[in-house]
Structure 1
Amino acid sequence: MKVLIIDDERLARKELINLLQDYSQIEVVGEATNADEAIELVNTLSPDLLFLDIQMPGKTGFEMLEMLDNVPQVIFTTAYDEFALKAFEVNALDYLLKPIQTERLNESINKLTLKSKTVSSDLINSKKLCLEDQVFVKDGDKCWFVSLSNIRLFESDGNYIKVFFDNNRPMIHKSLNALDEKLDPRSFFRASRKHIVNLSWVEGIEPWFNGGLMVKLRGGDKVEVSRRQAAKFKEMMSL
């Protein structure tokens, strides 16, 4: 597991590196002192895991994550317990309080090791986001790390996209066309100008007006597939 440590405090970085030497599955491939350095290293080194400080000069850890197209696993490191708990909701995410305790670090590493997975080389080379990938979603003061397998639907709303997962509907500032180019077409389908659906969530299909289709997703959401996309959709969903 390739690890990148991002913290503006040199002693904090060195302390964490020393602690991580006890884990044979961990390889520290780089250090960054701020968000701009970190973004460059993430794009160059493609780490599996970030140890990320929240408060740094310039951009915060949260702002840095918003600038990444593909977010690795992240463990936040912070000296501010109340700040961390208030700033984000924990989903597929962990945080460590400074000074980092060995027992707490071990718990985090074990948790992330269990979640580690092997992604086929063709998906890596295509740089498309697949169901196993995680994305960082921020809406106001709330943040989530969400597996794409849990996102059932993307819906365009002006210059924003509404992201449907669990009982959440956060809005992100992105175009549906830009998102469509990032997603693996084997797992996500552009149903119309307004919607992208996760094919693994499709529960039922029925004919609709003007040669279109109405798709029902697990959980009850219904999405209309345009006539233009209907034939392609039926081909993808058939044996």
Structure 2
Amino acid sequence: MENAHGAFRDECVRLDAVLRTLDEADLDRPTRCPPWAVRDLVAHVSTGAGRLVDMLAAPPPPRAEVDAAGYFGAAKFVPEVDAARVDSARRVARGRADVATVASAFTAAWRGTDAALAAAPPGRLVRTRHGDAMTLTDFLVTRVVEVGVHGLDLAEALHREPWLTPAAARVVADLLAAGRPAPAGLGWDPLTLIRKATGRTPLTAGERAVVEAAGFRWLAFGG
């Protein structure tokens, strides 16, 4: 829990600082998550970063039934769920017309979660909006994934170097690779593993051969 909470905080602080350097034109840049522009993707990340506030205010489920890897199962990526996710972010974004409003909304979202986490008892369970019963730690890992991986998408859209923090990179890479190191022949650092495993950077023919020969498998979102 401590590692996930620290990674969440670090990544949110970094993104918070980036958002406050944007100009109005940046908000309308296209992203690799069409049809979202930067403002829509930030709205999505803000909503995700703030979800734990309401979840921790609700009664806990009796037992955990889904872990962090299971949360990213195929049911989260069916067309109707995808369409609802896209439309929700665009509706929220329409109400945030300028950089100051966009940045302030993200600040309020992640800081609300940060405060709620600090007050949560050890071993707390939560239920997601999809109905998944999870440990708080496992759900928090999914929040690190959301902020960290979409941070890579935002960096690309803004033509900036990725700002993924070391703590968040470790949490995300560990989830994607199920806690195993990538095959030594690849020479990947955590950022490269995340980019390759999430399709942000394609595998070369040589990398694919090493991965297949080693029988290496990573979490496939929606798979």
Q: Same fold by TM (over 0.5)? A: no
TM-score range, shorter chain: under 0.3
Normalized per residue, the structure richer in helix is 2
1 or 2, which has the higher strand percentage?
1
Q: Which has the higher contact order (CA 8 A, sep 6+)?
A: 2
TM-score by length of 1: 0.26
